[in-house]
Amino acid sequence: MTTWLHTHTPATAATLRPPAPAAEIHAVQHALGHVLPGDLLEWWSLMDGVNGERDHHTAFTLPGTYFPLPVRQVRQTWASLTEHPAEHCCRRGAHQHAAGTTTAGFCTALLPICQAHGGAVLAIDLRPGTEHGRVMEWVPRTGARRSIWANIEALLTDTAQRLDQRDSRCGTPPRPGDPVIRDGALTWT
């Protein structure tokens, strides 16, 4: 995916941050009190989110226009969102619902990894259960629901496949969810 971005969208590739510092990753694990999924740790070993603050028009986004957060910002966003935990799930230090379950508020076991401009986040569900590690989509005022991605690996694989398919579809009109290149930058329809 990184090679594709450097080749086709140099403006977007320039927003990728180097690997996340180990100290920042440790701080996230310590704050949450959870072991993080291996695919998330592997992703952070390749890139520490994006520099989207300077020019959000060219920054790398995942489908749905979610900006990967730097690990330091992951911790800050989690701390902010967990100030008012989902009452029906987060009680007495335990979670009343299994991973992958819809929540009306923000569950403290959701780890935000990407954020959209409107405040919605993609989060990794760290609650126990068979869907531990699932990517959830949390939207203010409506809560969290399952995304189409079972985990980080599925999210990144889907993104890479969409980028590869763009090359094979040159000359045809983009469909919803397709990547588009404008002025050396990646956007999504």
Is residue 174 predicted with pLDDT exceeding 90? Answer: no
Q: What is the pLDDT of residues 1-30, one digit of tens each?
A: 899 999 999 999 999 999 999 999 999 999
Beta bridge pairs of residue 137: 122, 145
Q: What is the pLDDT of residues 46-94, one digit of tens each?
A: 999 998 665 677 889 998 889 999 999 999 999 999 887 777 777 766 7
pLDDT band at 181 (very low <50, low <70, confident <90, very high): confident
Q: What is the pLDDT of residues 69-81, one digit of tens each?
A: 999 999 999 999 9
The CATH superfamily label for domain 2-168 reads SMI1/KNR4-like (3.40.1580.10)
* Closest to 36 in 3D by CA, of 125, 164, 99: 125
Q: What are the residue ranges spanned by the domains of the chain?
A: 2-168
This prediction's pTM? 0.90
**Which residues lie closer than 8 Å to 53 by C-beta, 6 or more apart?**
none
